[in-house]
Amino acid sequence: MQKFLIVLLASMLSLVCATQAGAERVFPQQAKRGDMKAYEYPSMKIGDNIYRLSPGSRIFNEQNLIIMPASLQIQAAPVMYTLDIRGDLSSIWLLSVDEAARYPVSK
Q: In angstroms, rounded to a whole number, what is the distance separating the alpha carbons of residues 105 and 100?
A: 8
pLDDT at 55: 92
Q: Where are the domains of the chain?
A: 51-107
Strand intervals (E) in 1-107: 32-37, 43-46, 49-60, 66-67, 76-83, 89-94
The mean of the pLDDT values for the chain is 85
Q: What is the pLDDT of residues 25-65, one digit of tens each?
A: 999 999 999 999 988 888 999 999 999 999 999 999 999 99
**Residue 27: Cβ within 10 Å count:** 17
pLDDT at 45: 94
**Residue 79: Cβ within 10 Å count:** 27
Please, how many CA atoms are within 13 Å of residue 36, restricted to the half-sphere of its CB? 29
3-class SS at 103?
Answer: coil
Amino acid at 66: I
pLDDT at 74: 77
Residue pair 35/105 in contact (Cβ under 8 Å)? The answer is yes
Q: What is the pLDDT of residues 67-77, one digit of tens each?
A: 998 888 778 89
